[in-house]
Amino acid sequence: MAQKLILPINRCKLTASMRTAAYLSRYGYNHYGADMVSTAGAPNVYAGGNGTVVAAGWDNVVGNVVAVRYNGAQNHATGEEADLILRYFHLASISVRSGQAVDKDTVLGRYGCTGMLAMAPHLHLEADTDVAYPLYSPTVRSSNLIRGTARGAHDRTVRHPMEFLHCKPGAPDRQTYATAENAYIRGADKRIPCV
């Protein structure tokens, strides 16, 4: 049975979508994930559902990282399900360890401004269907934890990571979702379904 992953931040505001032309023009490189912050100033980052931590540690380029495997994640745009890796970058702190089972109530850490690519406190989230290589990311070329995909052999990042996330407005999560008013947000990311 497919699981509907929920937002990693309860009062979530999306500040940048994946691979927008405006982001490339402004910063000079493609953005391979979704950036988000809390509208309430609460930096806790939660697991999206039932999963297993496949890595947790420091990366010199993207800071503190947690990678979680979620089996049977549902894409709300297509209805398809896939085993998925979510990589959480720029964490100020990490609260889990590799091999740990997690659920939607597990705090993975707190978002922050760690690593060379962080410009302000936020969570950078990548979604990847290549579960055999959970630490391969197109965001970096080489670093000490995350491996670059310059060869393209393992780049199976999901083009629209927000399609795998749902908003859970009911108790106890009471999630809200908003998007920043800027050119870094894809139109399709402005609304996500509630569960």
Domain ranges of the chain: 5-190
Q: Which of 45, 72, 65, 75 is nearest to 136 (CA)?
A: 65
- Under 8 Å CB-to-CB from 169, ≥6 apart: which residues? 175, 176, 194
What's the confidence (pLDDT) of residue 151?
47
What's the confidence (pLDDT) of residue 160?
82
* pLDDT < 50 regions, the chain: 150-152
Do residues 109 and 96 lie in contact, with contact meaning Cβ atoms separated by under 8 Å?
Answer: yes
Q: How far apart are CA 188 and CA 180, in angstroms?
A: 13
What's the confidence (pLDDT) of residue 22?
87
What CATH number labels 5-190? 2.70.70.10
What's the confidence (pLDDT) of residue 19?
82
Do residues 140 and 148 lie in contact, with contact meaning Cβ atoms separated by under 8 Å?
Answer: yes
Give tens-digit pLDDT for 122-144. 999 999 998 988 988 888 877 77
Do residues 111 and 121 lie in contact, with contact meaning Cβ atoms separated by under 8 Å?
Answer: yes
What's the confidence (pLDDT) of residue 154?
60
